[in-house]
Amino acid sequence: MRLLKWHRRSFTVLWLRGLIFTALVPFAVGYLVPQDLRGAAGVAPGLWQAGYVLAAAGTALYLWCLVCFLLAGGTPAIFFTRHLSFLLGKEPPDVVRTGPYRFSRNPMYVAVAAAIFGQALLYRSLRLFLYGVSVALAFHLVVVLIEEPHLRKTRGPGYAAYLRSVPRWLGRLRS
């Protein structure tokens, strides 16, 4: 019984840390900054409202990714935020390969970018589009220059096989 209570408390803390991470990083980058950048622009009429679909798909994909991370025993907190692990948690002990991670090694980044580009459409905003491009470029650089080398070093041959079988961003599964 004592172990069950500890496990339940530990899992609750993990979810709380996941929500804190979500508020501080994806929510800020994917929603708060875009809302500030759009200024007074209202929702554009007509086909521009397809942005709702893209923004909602990005949000749903992010939440799916978050659940995969939490069920794997960690949060999406990047390894170099270790000094904030008391608040944001730590990466899972193993590379997450379930859910959308079967089709993309970085679906969480794809999700945040989709939410930003959805808002760019919705508000018919070049400024938001350019912000989305800069965020996507920053994500790419973080993945290629920081995350992948770290995971290669710490996760070994299993991660190398994952790199060969699942595309970095979007694409078809490879054998």
171 domain-assigned: no
Q: Residue 149 in 3-state DSSP?
A: helix
User: What is the domain extent for residue 12?
Assistant: 2-165
pTM, entire model: 0.89
170 domain-assigned: no
116 domain-assigned: yes
Q: What is the pLDDT of residue 82?
A: 76
What sign does the dihedral 25-26-27-33 (CA atoms) show? positive
175 domain-assigned: no
57 domain-assigned: yes
First to last CA, the chain: 45
172 domain-assigned: no
* Number of compact structural domains in the chain: 1
Please say whether the beta carbons of 108 and 65 come within 8 A.
Answer: yes
173 domain-assigned: no
User: What does the buried/exposed string (b/e) look like for 59-95 if buried means 16 or more CB atoms within 10 Å of the residue's CB?
Assistant: bebbebbbebbbebbbbbbbeebeebeeebbbbbeeb
Please say whether the beta carbons of 38 and 127 come within 8 A.
Answer: yes
Consecutive 10-residue averages of pLDDT for the chain (175 residues) = 53 87 93 94 92 97 95 83 80 92 96 98 96 98 94 91 94 61
Q: What is the pLDDT of residue 7?
A: 54
> Where does the chain have alpha helices with state H?
2-24, 26-27, 33-37, 51-71, 85-88, 107-122, 126-142, 148-155, 157-165
14 domain-assigned: yes
Environment class of 150 (CB within 10 Å of its CB; exposed 0-12, middle 13-18, buried 19+): middle
Q: What is the pLDDT of residue 175?
A: 53
Distance of alpha carbon 1 from alpha carbon 85, whole angstroms = 28
